[in-house]
């Protein structure tokens, strides 16, 4: 190792220790071994930017994983995440070296590499479900999102067509998944990095409007910030943390579209956010704010009493600032704030007993916590259930040769697949190639196979076909086509 290499590694390990002070010597030595293993596996490999693959990608992904507060197995998996896909390393090698848990994480993320969005809106939901079903473990989704996050940060080095495909894919697939897991910060990061590449004209238009609105609001926001500090200090007898959050460009764009580009009806471009000590102070603060500034009717939202489906909690109000524009104020506790930003990846949500009280939580075993979380009666249950593979046990996800995902019930055959792709393709299906090998129409499919339908102009539905498929859409089409045949005879 060169002097520079040693330094880079030391800096990384110091960051681990600083961010996760509870990590043991065993953790650190495991992370150190994963670091060395991945570095040597990627030796000589370059990124599109012309820099070293390990240092300029894998290491950044691991950094993001640490920033998200994840634990040792996931940090190791992040360092190793491209070894199966891009180097000679096999799953067997990894298992020998790092055990089953880390290997499964890397394997999961490698499988997700297959997902590609080809602009087919119809398949977006299938793609998202496929993503979750393959992941099997929510940590794999988080790892894939961190990987995508860094790829988006370095998108400028890729050819233009690739930039747009990846950006669109991220907005359609990755950001909604992050949202479902309550990882608000990651949602806006992914969307805002993608937006300029996905929709360049809309981005320019939005950015211009945004800059104008911000400079207009600036003075009154500063004024309000100051008097809010004084008010809350008076009410709570300490100065809570107050800051401004600016809405992301993509989120503003979506809102502008909803409001027909009427900027007057957008109050939350810049919102003031106060973080207080506990729930009762949230309501005290709200009272203090309303006794000073007149609230806009219908704009008070209590997401503490009624959290959003992904677990988001906060009080929102919009008030008339007097001489300036209407300003949105958000009030929440630190635990809520961490949860809103990091969702199920949030350390704090566990430590500050939002979901768990007084259990043995010294060792941070993430998946254990997930199970605990599932036992509780929070609305977060909804999306955590979505993340369980069981949920998808009755579904299979099969690829077209182009990489589109077709979502079918378990037991579906090549013929079902043909009809799911297109009625015309179904009608003239002669057979199919599963991973390149020709098979009969009645062959049942298994998740992750790549299926190509071989059409034959002479092929046509017969009564036998009704026994070769199980989906109602295929059966209905076949019956209709059979009826038509009889009429023409
Ligand atoms: Mn990667």
Average pLDDT (375-404) is 55
pLDDT higher than 70, residue 28: yes
Q: Tokens 């996760």, residue?
A: 20
Q: Which residues pair with 301 in a beta bridge?
A: 316
Q: Is residue 141 over pLDDT 90?
A: no
Q: Which residues are designated catalytic?
A: 85-86
Q: Which of the 8 DSSP states describes residue 87? A: S
Q: Name the band, by pLDDT with cuts 50, 70 and 90, for residue 382.
A: very low
Question: How far apart are alpha carbons 29 and 86 in whole angstroms?
Answer: 24
**How far, in Å, is the centroid of ligand 1 from the Cα of 146?**
9
| Res. 306 pLDDT band, cuts 50 70 90 | confident
Alpha carbons 393 and 47: distance in angstroms, whole number: 37
**In which residue are the tokens 């293993």 written?**
37
Q: Report the C-alpha gap between 412 and 416 in whole angstroms.
A: 6
Report pLDDT for 122.
66
Distance from residue 115's CA to the centre of ligand 1 (Å): 13
Region of 237 (left: φ > 0; alpha: ψ -120 to 50; beta: rest) is left
Q: What is the pLDDT of residue 48?
A: 86
Are the CB atoms for 429 and 416 separated by under 8 Å?
no
- What is the CA(337)–ligand 1 centre distance, in A? 29
The CA 309 to ligand 1 mean position distance, Å, reads: 30
pLDDT of residue 179: 81
- Confidence tier at 361 by pLDDT (50, 70, 90): very low
Q: How much distance in Å is there from the Cα of 388 to the middle of ligand 1?
A: 24
**Centre of ligand 1 from the C-alpha of residue 112, in Å:** 11
82 CB burial (10 A radius; 0-12, 13-18, 19+): buried
The SS3 assignment for 461 reads: coil
Residue 450 Cα to ligand 1 middle (Å): 23
Q: Give me the percent of the chain exceeding a pLDDT of 90.
A: 55
CA angle 73, 74, 79 (to 5 degrees): 100
The CA distance from 472 to 293, in Å, is 59
**Residue 405: predicted pLDDT:** 78
Q: Return the higher-pLDDT residue of 484 and 128.
A: 484
Mean pLDDT in residue range 155-167: 92
Task: Give the pair of three-digit tokens for residue 210.
Answer: 């945004």
**Cα within 13 Å of Cα(416), Cβ side:** 22
Question: pLDDT category, 298, cuts 50, 70, 90?
Answer: confident
For residue 368, pLDDT beyond 60: no
Q: Which residue carries 């506990």 as its tokens?
A: 278
pLDDT band at 428 (very low <50, low <70, confident <90, very high): very high
Mean pLDDT for 370-386 is 40
What is the model's pTM? 0.74
Q: Is 296 exposed, middle or buried (0-12, 13-18, 19+ CB in 10 A)?
A: middle
The Cα 300–Cα 465 span in angstroms is 59
The two structure tokens encoding residue 19: 């961010």
Which of 106-120, 248-262, 294-308 is predicted most confidently? 248-262
| Interval 163-178 mean pLDDT | 89
Evaluate if residue 38 carries a pLDDT over 60: yes
User: Mean pLDDT across the stretch 318-346?
Assistant: 86
Q: How confident is the prediction for the chain on average, in pLDDT?
A: 85
pLDDT of residue 198: 94
pLDDT score at 133:
64
Dihedral class, residue 112 (left if φ above 0, else alpha if ψ from -120 to 50, else beta): alpha
Residue 19 pLDDT > 80: yes
Q: Are 448 and 437 in contact (CB under 8 A)?
A: no
Does residue 350 have a pLDDT over 80? Answer: no
User: 207: Cβ–Cβ under 8 A, 6 or more apart, which residues?
Assistant: 249
pLDDT of residue 347: 55
Return the ∠ at Cα 314 (arms to 308 and 316), rounded to 5°: 100
Count the neighbouring beta carbons within 10 Å of the beta carbon of residue 11. Answer: 10
Q: Comparing C-alpha atoms, which of 356, 172, 330, 367 is closest to residue 241?
A: 330
> For position 381, what pLDDT does the model report?
41
Contact indicator for 329, 274 with CB cutoff of 8 Å: yes
Res 378: pLDDT: 38
Could you tell me if 293 and 321 are in contact, meaning their C-beta atoms sit under 8 angstroms apart?
A: yes
Predicted pLDDT at 282: 96
- Predicted confidence band at 353 (pLDDT cuts at 50, 70, 90)? very low
Residue 391 DSSP code: G
Q: How confident is the model at residue 359 (pLDDT cuts 50, 70, 90)?
A: very low
- In the reported structure, the alpha carbon of residue 479 is separated from the centroid of ligand 1 by a whole-number distance in angstroms of 47
Record the tokens describing residue 228, joined without a space: 């809010």
Higher pLDDT, 250 or 370: 250
Q: Is residue 388 scored above 90 in pLDDT?
A: no
Per-residue model confidence (pLDDT) at position 136:
65
**Is the pLDDT reported for residue 376 higher than 50?**
no
pLDDT tens digits, one per residue of 58-107 = 999 999 998 887 889 999 999 999 999 999 999 999 999 999 999 999 99
Q: Which residue in 41, 37, 34 sits closest to 16, CA to CA?
A: 34
| Cβ atoms within 10 Å of 442's Cβ, excluding its own | 15
Ligand 1 midpoint to CA 147 (Å): 5
Ligand 1 centroid, distance to 151 Cα (angstroms): 7
Whole-number Å distance, alpha carbon 472 to ligand 1 midpoint, is 39
- What structural domains does the chain harbor? 3-194 (1.10.3210.10), 200-360 (3.30.460.10), 394-487 (3.10.20.30)
Mean pLDDT confidence for 109-127: 74
Percentage of the chain exceeding pLDDT 70: 87
Whether 340 and 314 have beta carbons less than 8 Å apart is answered as yes
């Amino acid at each position: 190792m060169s002097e520079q290499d040693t330094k880079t590694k030391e800096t990384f390990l110091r960051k681990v220790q600083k961010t996760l002070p509870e990590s043991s010597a065993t953790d650190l030595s495991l992370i150190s071994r994963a670091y060395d293993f991945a570095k040597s596996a990627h030796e000589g490999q370059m990124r599109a930017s012309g820099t070293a693959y390990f240092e300029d990608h894998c290491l950044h992904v691991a950094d993001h994983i640490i920033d998200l507060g994840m634990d040792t197995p996931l940090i190791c998996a992040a360092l190793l995440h491209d070894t199966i896909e891009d180097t000679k390393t096999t799953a067997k090698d990894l298992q020998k070296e790092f055990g089953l848990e880390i290997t499964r994480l890397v394997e999961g993320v490698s499988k997700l590499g297959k997902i590609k969005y080809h602009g087919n809106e119809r398949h977006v939901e299938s793609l998202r479900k496929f993503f979750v079903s393959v992941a099997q473990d929510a940590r794999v989704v988080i790892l894939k999102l961190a990987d995508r996050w860094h790829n988006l940060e370095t998108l400028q080095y890729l050819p233009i067509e690739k930039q747009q495909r990846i950006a669109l894919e991220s907005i359609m697939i990755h950001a909604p998944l992050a949202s479902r897991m309550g990882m608000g910060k990651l949602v806006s990061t992914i969307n805002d990095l993608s937006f300029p590449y996905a929709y360049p004209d809309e981005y320019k238009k939005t950015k211009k409007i945004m800059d104008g609105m911000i400079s207009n609001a600036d003075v009154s926001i500063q004024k309000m910030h100051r008097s809010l500090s004084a008010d809350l200090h008076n009410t709570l007898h300490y100065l809570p943390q107050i800051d401004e959050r600016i809405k992301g460009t993509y989120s503003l764009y979506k809102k502008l579209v909803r409001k027909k580009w009427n900027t007057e009806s957008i109050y939350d471009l810049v919102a003031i956010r106060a973080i207080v000590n506990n729930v009762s102070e949230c309501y005290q603060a709200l009272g203090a704010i309303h006794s000073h500034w007149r609230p806009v009717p219908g704009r008070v939202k209590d997401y503490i009493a009624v959290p959003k489906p992904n677990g988001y909690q906060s009080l929102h109000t919009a008030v008339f600032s007097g001489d300036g524009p209407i300003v949105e104020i958000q009030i929440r506790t630190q635990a809520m704030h961490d949860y809103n930003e990091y969702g199920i990846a949030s350390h704090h949500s566990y430590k500050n007993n939002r979901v768990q009280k007084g259990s043995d939580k010294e060792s941070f075993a993430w998946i254990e916590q997930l199970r605990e979380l599932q036992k509780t009666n929070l609305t977060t249950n909804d999306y955590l259930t979505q993340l369980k593979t069981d949920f998808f046990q009755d579904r299979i996800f099969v690829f077209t040769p182009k990489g589109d995902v077709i979502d079918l019930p378990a037991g579906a055959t090549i013929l079902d697949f043909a009809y799911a792709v297109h009625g015309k393709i179904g009608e003239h299906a002669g057979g199919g190639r599963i991973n390149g090998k020709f098979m009969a129409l009645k062959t049942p499919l298994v998740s992750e196979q790549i299926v190509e339908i071989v059409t034959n102009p002479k092929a046509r539905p017969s009564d036998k076909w009704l026994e070769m498929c199980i989906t109602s859409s295929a059966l209905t089409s076949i019956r209709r086509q059979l009826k038509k045949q009889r009429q023409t005879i």
